[in-house]
């Protein structure tokens, strides 16, 4: 891959396909449909591949819903924590389902979206998350309706319920328990519905996940309550398919060897900073040479992590940061005016396509 200049995000369709095949297997085996959560990944140059294996998209805003409709097609689910009337009027032109976050929003707008399938988000009061920041059942959570009686009252206005209560849950036994709890608590309501969404945050594409048991559980639940189940995978759909490819610009020393690359954690892999996690390095491979790999912004804590590497890094060397798709490309920004990484795709047939390069003009017109 000569003539590609770093930094760039490299999406590998073959790796993406591995996840997509698991998703379509779950669809065939359990009957549960999957819609891609665009807030995690909206890089639409690979949607032609993804749409063959998934049923559509779900969104967090009007713009995401519109992108899903324009670029992915199939089913367009629209959710937002807060709609304006303007949003709703736009959405009514292309969304299949509109899911409200509260009873007040449903009451305000259901007449404007007559004819579409409507749903409401439920806060079941349980969750699985390693981070309070991403925990939908956290104290004072505004996500979803808590009071079951309120939901019962508006039930005739909706055909479905959305339960999004997981974050990176790779523990099937935990999920099974939660589903039993939801069945017990909301069973009579579920029976009045056509569909339910179990949201995202289920890590069923991770190696070792009990996919067979998962499918059986979903099928059983759907049968018991007579509902079409939707899953809303974000991270699970795109995990491990993308690298951020960078070049070492300099090596400095302060008690440790520090390699500075032509990318930065705050503008290019912001989620790591928010959740205080280290990046995983895809290359060079691990070995005895200890290096801090750091970014080129002025932020003192612009550090990807500390690694033992197979080779000593020097200016000009390539460093590849693993798992750079989810909650990463959607959050890239122009902090420090650093060159935004290009978007490159390795197609299924091995051909490498440069999709998008960002220029000084993009930076300039982002702000005025």
Ligand X SMILES: *Cc1c(COP(=O)(O)O)cnc(C)c1O
To ligand X, the closest distance from the beta carbon of 269 in angstroms equals 16
Q: Which is nearer to ligand X, 40 or 345 (CB)?
A: 40
The DSSP call for residue 20 is H
User: Applying CB under 6 A, which of residues 68, 124, 144, 234 lies at the interface with ligand X?
Assistant: 234
Q: Which stretch binds ligand X (CB under 6 A): 43-51, 205-213, 226-234, 289-297?
A: 226-234
d(CA 295, CA 301): 9
Tell the residue number behind the tokens 């479905």, with chain if given. 160
Q: Please identify, using beta-carbon distances, which residue of 76 and 264 lies nearer to ligand X.
A: 76
> In the complex, what is the shortest distance from the CB of residue 209 to ligand X, in angstroms, rounded to a whole number?
13
User: Which residue number, 175 or 309, has a Cβ lying nearer to ligand X?
Assistant: 175
DSSP 321-335: ES--STTTGGG---G
Q: Which is nearer to ligand X, 81 or 155 (CB)?
A: 81
Q: Is residue 200 at the binding interface for ligand X, with CB under 6 A as the rule?
A: yes
Per-residue b or e along 123-148, where b marks 16 or more CB atoms closer than 10 Å to that residue's CB: bbebbbbeeeebbbbeeeeebbbeee
* Alpha carbons 128 and 162: distance in angstroms, whole number: 16
Residue placing its CB nearer to ligand X in the complex, 16 or 236 = 236
* Residue 13, both tokens: 């369709």
The distance of closest approach from Cβ of residue 96 to ligand X in the complex, given in angstroms and rounded to an integer, is 16
User: Does residue number 68 form part of the binding site for ligand X (CB under 6 A)?
Assistant: no
- H or E element at residue 355: strand 352-356
Decide whether 40 or 145 has the Cβ nearer to ligand X: 40
**Structure tokens of 73?**
């097609």
Q: Is 233 in the site for ligand X (CB under 6 A)?
A: yes
The single residue listed with the structure tokens 């490498």 is 352
Binding residues among 304-333 for ligand X as defined by CB under 6 A: none
Pairing type for strands 286-294 and 257-261 reads parallel
User: Contacting ligand X (CB under 6 A), which of 8, 72, 79, 163?
Assistant: 79
CB 35 within 8 A of CB 99: no
Nearer to ligand X, 40 or 248 (CB): 40
CB under 8 A, 24+ apart: contacts of 190-193: 190/161, 190/225, 190/227, 191/225, 191/226, 192/155, 193/155, 193/158, 193/159, 193/160, 193/161, 193/225, 193/227
**CB closer to ligand X, 79 vs 100:** 79
Interacting stretch for ligand X, rule CB under 6 A, among 197-205, 218-226, 253-261, 293-301?
Answer: 197-205
Applying CB under 6 A, the span of 199-207, 211-219, 220-228, 293-301 interacting with ligand X comes to 199-207
- Which of 39, 69, 77, 217 is close enough to bind ligand X by CB under 6 A? 39
Letters for 236-275 (x = contact with ligand X by CB under 6 A, - = none) are x---------------------------------------
Q: Are 92 and 78 in contact (CB under 8 A)?
A: no
Residue in 7, 124, 199, 267 binding ligand X, rule: CB under 6 A: 199
Restricted to residues 143-182, the positions that interact with ligand X (CB under 6 A) are 164, 167
- SS3 percent helix, strand, coil of the chain, rounded to 5, is 35, 25, 40
Q: How far apart are CA 264 and CA 284, in angstroms?
A: 18
Contact positions vs ligand X (CB under 6 A): 37, 39-40, 58, 79, 164, 167, 199-201, 232-236
């Amino acid at each position: 891959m000569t003539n590609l200049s770093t930094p760039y995000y490299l999406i590998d369709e073959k790796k993406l396909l591995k996840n997509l095949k698991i998703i379509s297997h779950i669809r065939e085996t359990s009957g549960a449909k999957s819609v891609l959560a665009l807030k995690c990944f909206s890089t639409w140059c690979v949607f032609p591949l993804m749409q063959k294996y998934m049923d559509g998209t779900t969104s967090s805003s009007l713009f995401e819903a519109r992108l899903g409709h324009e670029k992915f097609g199939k089913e367009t689910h629209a959710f937002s924590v807060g709609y304006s009337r303007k949003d709703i009027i736009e959405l009514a032109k292309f969304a299949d389902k509109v899911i409200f976050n509260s009873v007040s929003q449903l009451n305000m707008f259901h007449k404007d979206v007559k004819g579409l399938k409507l749903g409401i988000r439920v806060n079941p009061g349980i969750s699985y998350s390693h981070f309070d920041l991403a925990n939908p059942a956290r104290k004072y959570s505004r996500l979803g309706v808590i009071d079951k009686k309120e939901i019962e009252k508006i039930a005739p206005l909706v055909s479905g319920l959305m339960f999004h209560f997981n974050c990176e849950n790779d523990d099937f036994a935990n999920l099974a328990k939660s589903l039993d709890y939801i069945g017990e608590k909301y069973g009579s309501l579920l029976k009045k519905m056509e569909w339910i969404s179990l949201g995202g945050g289920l890590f069923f594409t991770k190696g070792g996940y009990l996919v067979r048991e998962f499918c059986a559980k979903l099928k059983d639940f759907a049968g018991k309550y007579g509902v079409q189940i939707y899953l809303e995978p974000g991270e699970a759909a795109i995990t491990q398919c993308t690298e951020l490819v960078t070049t070492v610009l300099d090596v400095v020393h302060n008690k440790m060897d520090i390699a500075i690359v032509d990318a930065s954690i705050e503008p290019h892999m912001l989620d790591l900073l928010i959740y205080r996690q280290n990046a995983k390095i895809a290359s060079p491979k691990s070995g005895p040479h200890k290096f801090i790999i750091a970014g080129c912004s002025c932020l003192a804590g612009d550090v990807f992590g500390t690694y033992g590497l197979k080779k000593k890094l020097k200016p000009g060397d390539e460093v590849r940061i693993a798992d750079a798709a989810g909650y990463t490309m959607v959050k890239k920004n122009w902090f420090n005016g650093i060159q935004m990484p290009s978007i490159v795709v390795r197609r299924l047939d091995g051909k490498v396509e440069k999709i998008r390069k960002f220029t000084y003009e993009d930076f300039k017109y982002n702000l005025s």
